[in-house]
Amino acid sequence: MKKLGVSLLLLVLSIILLSACNSENEAEAETDNNSGSKKITLWYWNRGLDESVLEKVKEEFPDIQLDLQKLPPGKDYKTKLTALLTSKPGKDSPDLVLMNIWLSEYLPYSEKFLNLYDYNGKDIEQNYPAWKVQQGVSGDGKTMIAVPVDTAPTGLFYREDIFKDAGIASSPEELSDKVKSWDNYVSVLQELKDKKGVYAESSMKDVFSKQINKLDKRYFDADNKFIGDQEHIKQEWDKAISLGKDGLVLGNIEELTQEWNAALINGEIVGYDGPVWAKDIIIDTAPALSGKWKVSRSPVADGNDGGSFLSVLKSSKNPEIAVKIAEFINNEENQVTSYKNMSLFPAHNKALANTELGQSEEYFGGQNTSEVFVESAKNVKEAFRGTKETIVSTAFRDELDLVATENKDPEKAWQDALDKIARDLSM
């Protein structure tokens, strides 16, 4: 009886505590209502969004209490986002979350996001390139989980002085025409090596990844079925192997690393098929080379390497307002502002056509490089990104590393990559 009495007492205390907590939450919600202020919490990372645009949000939505939470980027951000999506929403859960090109990894959690097709999504998607919108849409096309923030179209950064001396091209337009096919691009790489002893590619694995970013289908189909063992991927593998075999890559130097930066400064690397956001990296890395670099269209086809999105969580207490804020941050005017302030290259179609986007750039010899990247952004191919792209990409790149560093047989490396992918995808 004594034991039963204690249990009853604990039960009563629990009920009292629970009631107290509920009363506290209700009181807090009531306080928000009384103040006329609705709270919207936004997760982002440093330089992921333009702070001046976020200040404009407060002016545009004066009745909203905007809680801006800047989190550590990269792996830490994804870990926290994953924890959020795999747990029950709490009182402090965000309404809006920034996501990068890796948002496809979160499509399996699409039920945790607001389906923007229920919130004017068909009109929203008309404002952005189809290939960009498609990255935030489920494979069956029924769920749109994100508004595009910025894009990362590619171009061929190159040393104009070296290319001229080698008799390859005297203008970005001439070089764009010259590298439209893979065979012609290989010829250019061969000329650079033969005539100047320099390179525009630094590793087979980066050649492979960049070519994948130009395709209209990647490692998975719209049903998220693995197709990375098919001919369209094997062809790109063989192209990368061929460049390595012919000595047309500098070594096994990963792009944008310190070693790559050093090769850029000492003139071993004179070309780079890379995204628009790398422009600032090149300027910061080699300021003494100001005026010597130009940008042409990417070899073979335009690609995209990066770009972010803004999503609304289904748990938001104010979903309509959260969607309007996402649209406001990414309207034409604010995306142009974000590009000017933060080099976040626009995704909005009208922003891409805005004349304020382009200007003469001293580092690039007075060239308006935006013209190149705008055309690139318009021509990136739609390609479904699977939910486990990282597993596949890592396996292929690791095996290309072994081909480069241990002279591993390329065909065995290809098969070993496929075997590892099969194991990892089955887990």
Question: Average pLDDT for residues 175-185, to the nearest whole number?
Answer: 98
pLDDT value of position 199: 98
Please give the structure tokens belonging to residue 271: 């070309």
**What is the spatial distance between Cα 311 and Cα 145, in angstroms, rounded to a whole number?**
6
**What is the spatial distance between Cα 126 and Cα 263, in angstroms, rounded to a whole number?**
42
pLDDT of 284-340, one tens digit each?
A: 999 999 999 999 999 999 999 999 999 999 999 999 999 999 999 999 999 999 999
Min mean pLDDT across 29-38, 164-173, 247-256 is at: 29-38
pLDDT value of position 35: 54
pLDDT of 258-289, one tens digit each?
A: 999 999 999 999 999 999 999 999 999 999 99
pLDDT value of position 36: 59
pLDDT value of position 31: 42
Is there a contact between 95 and 313 (Cβ–Cβ < 8 Å)?
Answer: yes
> Quick one: pLDDT band at residue 149, thresholds 50, 70, 90?
very high
- Residue 372, pLDDT > 70, answer yes
pLDDT value of position 132: 96
127 Cβ neighbours under 8 A, 6+ residues apart: 348, 349, 350
**What is the spatial distance between Cα 21 and Cα 310, in angstroms, rounded to a whole number?**
33
pLDDT value of position 2: 43
- Residue 11, pLDDT > 80, answer no
- Cα 312 from chain centroid (whole Å): 18
The H or E element containing residue 41 is strand 38-45
The H or E element containing residue 274 is strand 271-275
Please give the structure tokens belonging to residue 255: 């792009």
Residue with the larger pLDDT of the pair 90 and 320: 320
- Count Cβ atoms below 10 Å from residue 6 Cβ, excluding itself: 10
- Residue 104, pLDDT > 50, answer yes
Please give the structure tokens belonging to residue 376: 């690139």
Min mean pLDDT across 33-47, 77-91, 136-150, 362-376 is at: 33-47
Question: Average pLDDT for residues 181-186, to the nearest whole number?
Answer: 98
288 Cβ neighbours under 8 A, 6+ residues apart: 265
Is there a contact between 372 and 347 (Cβ–Cβ < 8 Å)?
Answer: no
Number of C-alpha atoms within 13 angstroms, CB side, residue 6? 2
Torsion of CA 297, 205, 168, 368, to 10 degrees: 30
